[in-house]
Amino acid sequence: MGEYLAEQRRHAQLSLRQLSDLAGVSNPYLSQIERGLRKPSADVLQQLAKALRISAETLYVRAGILDPDDSSDGARRASGVVDAVLLDPALNERQKRVLLDVYASFVRENTPDTAAAATPAQAAAAEAAAQETVGKAATDQAEATAKAAQAKKPAAKKTPARKRTTK
């Protein structure tokens, strides 16, 4: 588990300290998890997954909290697609958001029967995941817009026009 977590952290190009700040866990505790000295709770794994932008389910399986056979094949496939998009260094954040939004809309559009056949718990989990993805994308978009607005330099002051004199 710890080795996998360290690999994901390096792939996200984060230092131990940066990940601990993003996830809200202490630096020494995170170091102990990566070295296999501590076993994190499901809550800590969820925080780490969010900070690394990978699926929490993947970390739960790695930690032995969740049996890989418990999840549906579709959930694993979706999780793999999301992880692949989020971890692709060739894509910028805006491109990742757009791809994930389009993918989520296609999945929702093409699985009305699956949603009806799912257990209430599975349906609630799927809806929560979709809402979180959309909410995160909206938050990211707002942050990107704010950063872009701050990055714009103020317009150069116009010099007053010379008075024309007529002769």
Q: Looking at residue 115, what is its pLDDT?
A: 46
Tokens of 70: 């418990």
Q: What is the pLDDT of residues 63-87, one digit of tens each?
A: 888 776 655 555 555 667 777 777 7
Cβ-contact 20, 27 below 8 angstroms: yes
Closest by CA to 138, choosing from 94, 83, 80, is 94
Structure-token match 């959930």, residue found: 75
Task: Give, to the nearest 10 degrees, the angle between helix 73-87 and helix 93-110.
Answer: 160
Q: What is the pLDDT of residues 123-167, one digit of tens each?
A: 555 555 555 554 554 455 555 555 555 555 555 556 666 666 666
Cα–Cα distance measured from residue 101 to residue 95, given in angstroms and rounded to the nearest whole number = 10
Alpha carbon distances (Å) from 20 to 16, 24, 90, 126:
6, 6, 25, 28
Q: Is the pTM of this model over 0.85?
A: no
Largest CA distance in the chain: 93
Cα–Cα distance measured from residue 127 to residue 34, given in angstroms and rounded to the nearest whole number = 32
Domains of the chain: 2-68 (1.10.260.40), 71-140 (no CATH)
Kindly indicate the confidence band of residue 56, based on its pLDDT and cuts at 50, 70 and 90. Answer: confident
Cα–Cα distance measured from residue 22 to residue 2, given in angstroms and rounded to the nearest whole number = 17
Q: What is the pLDDT of residues 93-111, one digit of tens each?
A: 788 888 888 888 888 888 7
